[in-house]
Amino acid sequence: MTLDTQFKLKSNPLFIRYLHENSYWYKILNRNPDKINDFIEEVRINYRLRPSDKIDKALSTFSMISNIISSLK
């Protein structure tokens, strides 16, 4: 694994956590460090860090608050 790849991984605790949970990525990144972008995208998908996921979470929170308010009336 290149130093650049190692620095990217160590810069974010979520990357390290995901590596521990899915150790097959060690082999992939060791053999092909260019796959770091695929790794980062998979982390974002699995931990729901994409902008669309954040919007969905905000909408569901708003919906829950709206339901609570309507039930109190």
Give the pLDDT confidence of 24-38 residue by residue, as tens digits.
Answer: 999 999 999 999 999
Question: Where are the domains positioned within the chain?
Answer: 3-72
What pLDDT is attached to residue 73?
79
Instruction: Give pTM, 2 decimals.
Output: 0.73
Least Cα distance to 33 among 1, 62, 65 occurs for: 1
Q: What pLDDT, on the 0 to 100 scale, is given for residue 29?
A: 95
Q: What is the pLDDT of residues 5-63, one digit of tens each?
A: 999 999 999 999 999 999 999 999 999 999 999 999 999 999 987 777 778 788 888 88
pLDDT of residue 60: 85
Helices (H) and strands (E) in the chain, counts: 5, 0
